[in-house]
Amino acid sequence: MNRQPAVYILASGRNGTLYTGVTSDLIRRVCQHREHAVDGFTARYGVACLVWYELHATMDSAIVREKRIKKWRRAWKLALIEASNPYWNDLWPEIIGQVPVRPIGKFDPC
C-alpha cells in the first residue's frame, strides 16, 4: 500500500472502544497503535485492531472526513464499520498485503 492520506477507525473489540484517526501513512500509524508505541488513548484502552479505513487523494480531504466522523453518534460509526466489515475482522493483514489468518466472522482482538 502506498503512502496515501487515510482516515481509520480502531477498536478494542466488537462494539468496544473506538478511536478515529487520520494519517499520511496508514501502515506506520496502525503499527504504532498496535505496539502501543505512543502513550495515549489507544494504549490506555487497548484499542489496536483496525476495523475500518478510507483512503483519500489529499490530506485536507482526509482531515475534513476525520473531523466529521469524530462528531458522529456512536451508532453511526458502528454502521459505517459494519457496512464494509460486518464481522469486525482486523484489517491489518489487508493493509500489509497478507492473507488474514483468522476465520472470517470471528473477532480476534490484536
pLDDT tens for residues 31-45?
A: 999 999 888 999 999
Residue 63: predicted pLDDT: 98
pLDDT tens for 57-91 read 999 999 999 999 999 999 999 999 999 999 999 99
Q: Is the pLDDT of residue 13 over 80?
A: yes
**What kind and span of H or E run contains 11?**
strand 6-11
> Which domains are present in the chain?
6-95 (3.40.1440.10)
Going by C-alpha positions, the residue among 53, 75, 74, 47 that lies closest to residue 65 is: 53
Q: What is the rounded average pLDDT for all residues in the chain?
A: 90
Strands ordered across the beta sheet of 49-55: 18-23, 6-11, 49-55
Instruction: State how far the Cα of 101 lies from the Cα of 7, in Å rounded to an integer.
Output: 24
